[in-house]
Amino acid sequence: QLQLQESGPGLVKPSETLSLTCTVSGGSIGSIGYYWGWIRQPPGKGLEWIGSVYYSGSTYYNPSLKSRVTVSVDTSKNQFSLKLSSVTAADTAVYYCARIMITIFGTEARGMDVWGQGTTVTVSS
């Protein structure tokens, strides 16, 4: 059974870079037909997609965060990562990683079928 687990610092200082890793177990991050993504949820608010990566390294980013976001993949470790630079208090949220089903011959996102448990990141000095 595929499982995802987020890891990384729970506290980040303003203006610094938030770094998180998602470890995939029970399956291969190189499986065809899936992107791997990051989604966040500020306290008491809704879900926001941040960015996604394919095993080949191809990425998509939320246009509103694109200038600060990097999502990368390490197939040798079965992991993918998120870096969000120049953070502010507005970046305080629960960060989830998820597997995104895509169409075989295209890259349309069909739905997110496996989620990590989430990790809370607070931006504060």
Partner 1 sequence: QSALTQPPSASGSPGQSVTISCTGTSSDVGGYNYVSWYQQHPGKAPKLMIYEVNKRPSGVPDRFSGSKSGNTASLTVSGLQAEDEADYYCSSYAGSNNFVVFGGGTKLTVL
Q: Which residues bind partner 1 (CB under 8 A)?
A: 37, 39, 46-49, 52, 60, 62-63, 96, 100-101, 107-113, 115-118
Minimum separation from the CB atom of position 38 to partner 1 (A): 11
Minimal distance, residue 98 CB to partner 1, in Å? 8
In the complex, the smallest distance separating the C-beta of residue 15 from partner 1, rounded to whole angstroms, is 26
Closest CB to partner 1 among residues 29, 116: 116
Radius of gyration of the chain measured on its C-alpha atoms: 14
Is the distance from CB of 121 to CB of 7 less than 8 angstroms? no
Residue number, 16 or 68, with CB nearest to partner 1: 68
Contact in structure between 110 and 103 (CB atoms under 8 Å) = yes
Cα separation, 79 vs 90, in Å, equals 26
Tell me the longest C-alpha to C-alpha distance in the chain.
Answer: 46
Q: Token pair of 78, please? A: 């079965």
Which CB, 25 or 117, lies closer to partner 1?
117
